[in-house]
Amino acid sequence: MLCDEAGAQTQVTLLGGYLGTADIIEHLTEKTGVAAERIHAPESFGLLPSNS
């Protein structure tokens, strides 16, 4: 369960491959409303908008 209290943060390290990470990112952004900017994933996966 992710912390949803004001000021509380949850950090998760995903050790899986592309498909598992893609599924989790999709769930976080589409189902729970986590902003993509708050998620960090390997750039080589190409799953999130770049900061450039």
Task: Confirm whether 10 is domain-assigned.
Answer: no
* Whole-number pLDDT of residue 49: 79
Q: Is 48 helix (H, G, I), strand (E, B) or coil?
A: coil
> Domain for residue 8, yes or no?
no
User: How confident is the model at residue 34, as a pLDDT?
Assistant: 86
Q: In this structure, is residue 6 part of a structural domain?
A: no
pLDDT in tens, the chain (52 residues): 566 666 677 777 777 889 988 999 999 899 988 888 888 888 888 888 775 4
Q: Distance (Å, rounded) from C-alpha 42 to C-alpha 2?
A: 21
Helix (H, G, I), strand (E, B) or coil at 9: coil
Residue 51's pLDDT is 52
Give the pLDDT of residue 26: 92
What is the residue range of 29's domain? 22-52
Tokens of 4: 């949803």
In a domain, 42, yes or no: yes
Residue 51 lies in a domain: yes
How many domains does the chain divide into?
1
Amino acid, res. 23: D
Task: Kindly state whether residue 7 falls inside one of the protein's structural domains.
Answer: no
